[in-house]
Chains A and B, each alone.
Chain A
Amino acid sequence: MSIEVRNLSKRFGSFSALRDVSLEVRPGELLALLGPSGSGKTTLLRVIAGLETADDGRVLFHGEDATDQHVRERQVGFVFQHYALFRNMTILENVAFGLRVRPKKFRPTDKEIRRRVHELLKLVQLDWLADRYPHQLSGGQRQRIALARALAVEPKVLLLDEPFGALDARVRKELRAWLRRLHDDMHITSVFVTHDQEEALEVADRVVVMNEGRIEQIGTPDEVYERPASPFVYEFLGKVNLFHGRLHQGRAWIGEIEIDAPEHSEAEELPAIAYVRPHDIEIERVSSVSMMNGDADASTRLAAQVSHVLAIGPVVRLELIRNGDQGKEHQELIEVEISKERFRELNLAQGDEVLIKPSRFDLFPRQIH
């Protein structure tokens, strides 16, 4: 079952939650809606579910227009951040609810309902909790029950709103892996909302990065991490260093470095920012030679000073201050990640002078607000 949304817009008073959002969820995929709070991701999910109506745009399930279909008829499974289990019912009755409220014609027998509930409880590995009440369960257990309840009605799509948001870090990690496995077994088209980039990148087949009601980028976790389409995605996903410079007719200058930037051939004296991941920076000790003649290196490398070394684990993190920045009130720290091996080779310590070179970067003309 595919889901398609076309040109969705939604306002709450003067706040635009969704601005002309279009998206296609492929059958059987696990898609993450990722963004900071207020980016519209939950609103988008609720519009898909039918809990919220968009001011504009259409929602299609399997190519059929479901925009005006009532929530009740959409056959979606929905999992809430705070579980939303029925507190006055046992776990068994919670999971059975969707079957029990069916019109008599379509309602399975009581025996059949119990059988299916136990089957689902086994699937989420909580069969032994059937007679408990929600408040007697831990957060992780409740969320698994919520998932079983959503699956009981055999939904065509599964929507999860920050499903692990209320859980502590360890349980969250466990459930994450478990959800991934469950999805691999069931292949039900699923969309989940998260503000946790690690969660999105780890679990999802594809990630939709949202910001201020718009989609910034859609891609596989690898694509959005390695090739962010916009400065926002760069800054939101993973650590990144910013280098200010300027663009002019296909050439860019960052400090002393001059780089080819063929994709910006039309740029005329534009301020620009280069985004560089910490592991995409090469680092060298300042050799006495280059110090003396201040030569070729100067046009490909930036001089900096090590201000902090964090050498825990296989990756060593260095914080550098660019030369010329030291005296300034606002020092921009450059973060560099190198392997332990390389670190030993360089034998760096705080205060050492180094030369750095971005080995891979993306240039974006700076937006003038």
Chain B
Amino acid sequence: MSMSAIAVSAPVQGRGVRPTTESAWIRRSLIGLALAFLTLFLFVPLISVFYEALKKGLDVYVAAITEPEAAAAIQLTLTAAAIAVPLNVIFGLAAAWAIAKFEFRGKSVLTTLIDLPFSVSPVVAGLIYVLMFGLQGWLGPWLAENDIKIIFAVPGIVLATIFVTVPFIARELIPLMQAQGTEEEEAAVILGASGWQTFYRVTLPNIKWGVLYGTILCNARAMGEFGAVSVVSGHIRGSTNTLPLHVEILYNEYNFAAAFAVASLLALLALVTLGLKTLVESRAKRQEENIREH
């Protein structure tokens, strides 16, 4: 997208060359440099994933992604995302609403806390949960007594996924909601709308593309998360293995065709995400333009 932006903006000037425009030679080499970089680090690896996955034929590919352990991994990944993403949508909306529309003590602390998962290594995030809920952890003995399994089980994976994906939606919505201000909400309340009516009829329609954009990113990360989930999962095949973990196991077993086949699913997910993201981005941009005109 950034490339097309350069390409479009270049031929705009006619006679009067803008002072910030460089000569054609420099422009071409910059574009060439960016392309070379992307080819080397992005396109070639991406193609090689699909190439390696299909190298041994379609049968091997289909078998690799339909065998029970792979199917279980897919299911677990979908389950974890299905729980983590909606929760984060709710939390993200609530946090962004609070931060953008209200003044309160400790607001900056909350803003910083929301960013924490971005700044903390995912491995540390996983370890936090092991320390909390693991057998030797703070709550471990109590959990064991009550026969509740969190670490090396599905709940742990869901928790770790939630932790690493917390910032996506809130981060996306806070600047958007701050730009929109609170006047429309005030107008709604003065006209007699209840809190829920105000949110549902005024606030939510104004941010829906932002919410969708954040959800897509959040989902992509939730399904692709490796580090934090790896720590809490225990790698029990067919039970606590998510797709990324499954890829690692297959790779470590020198089962390259299967590893790449499963990896290609994740790559596909990334491509779909990218497509959706671009689509939503353009819609969101239009909504934002309405704000500025407004």
Chain A interface residues (CB < 8 Å from chain B): 49-51, 71-72, 74, 76-78, 80, 82-88, 97-98, 101-102, 133-135, 149-150, 152-153
Contacts and interface: CB of A to CB of B under 8 A. Distances in A.
Given A86-B202, A87-B206, A101 B290 contact: no
Nearest to B204: A88
Interface string B187-214: 1111111100100011001100000000
Q: Which of A86, A133, A135 has the most CB of B within 10 A?
A: A86
Contacts of A87: 184, 206, 290-291, 294
A323 to B, nearest CB: 55
Range for the number of chain B residues in contact with chain A? 20 to 34
A78 B190 CA distance: 7
B183 A80 contact: yes
Contact of B190 (A76, A82, A86): A76
B192 A82 contact: no
Interface of B: 183-184, 186-194, 197, 201-202, 205-206, 290-291, 293-294
A49 B294 CA distance: 24
A71 B195 CA distance: 12
Contacts of B293: 135
Contacts of B184: 84-87
B20 to A, nearest CB: 30
A106 to B, nearest CB: 9
Nearest to A75: B192
| Top 4 A-B pairs, shortest CB-CB distance | A98-B191, A84-B183, A88-B205, A101-B193
Given A97-B193, A101-B194, A86 B188 contact: yes
A152 B187 CA distance: 13
B279 to A, nearest CB: 19
B186 A84 contact: yes
Contacts of B188: 86, 97, 101
A149 to B, nearest CB: 7
A135 B288 CA distance: 11
A86 B290 contact: no
Given A84-B183, A87-B206, A101-B201, A71 B189 contact: yes
B204 to A, nearest CB: 9
B194 A80 contact: no
Given A97-B191, A98-B191, 15 more contacts: A72-B192, A72-B194, A76-B190, A78-B187, A80-B183, A80-B186, A82-B294, A84-B184, A84-B186, A86-B188, A86-B201, A86-B202, A97-B188, A97-B201, A98-B192
Contacts of A97: 188, 191, 193, 201
Contact of B183 (A71, A72, A82, A152): A82
B290 A72 contact: no
Q: Which of B186, B188, B189, B192 has the most CB of A within 10 A?
A: B192
Contacts of A74: 190
Nearest to B187: A84
Given A84-B184, A87-B184, A71 B290 contact: no
Q: Which of B183, B193, B205 has the most CB of A within 10 A?
A: B183
B192 A135 contact: no
A49 to B, nearest CB: 7
Q: Which of B187, B189, B193, B201 has the most CB of A within 10 A?
A: B187
A87 B193 CA distance: 16
A133 B165 CA distance: 36
Nearest to A51: B186
B202 A72 contact: no
A86 B187 contact: yes
B206 A88 contact: yes
Contacts of A85: 184, 187, 294
B183 A135 contact: no
Nearest to A133: B290
Nearest to A93: B201
A101 B197 contact: yes
Contacts of B186: 51, 71, 78, 80, 84
Contacts of B192: 72, 98, 101-102, 153
Contacts of A149: 187, 191
A246 to B, nearest CB: 49
Nearest to B185: A84
A355 B293 CA distance: 56
A84 B188 CA distance: 9
18 contacts: A49-B190, A72-B193, A80-B186, A82-B183, A85-B184, A85-B187, A85-B294, A87-B184, A87-B291, A101-B188, A101-B197, A101-B201, A102-B192, A133-B290, A135-B290, A149-B191, A150-B190, A153-B191
A153 B190 CA distance: 10
A8 to B, nearest CB: 19
A166 to B, nearest CB: 11
Given A87-B294, A101-B194, A80 B187 contact: yes
Contacts of B183: 80, 82, 84
A152 B192 CA distance: 11
Contacts of A76: 190
Q: Which of A76, A77, A88, A150 has the most CB of B within 10 A?
A: A88
A258 B202 CA distance: 66
A229 B17 CA distance: 61
A326 B201 CA distance: 67
Contacts of B197: 101
Nearest to A76: B190
Nearest to B290: A135
A76 B190 CA distance: 7
Given A84-B183, A88-B205, A134 B294 contact: yes
A72 B195 CA distance: 10
Contacts of B291: 87
Contacts of A51: 186, 190
Contacts of A50: 190
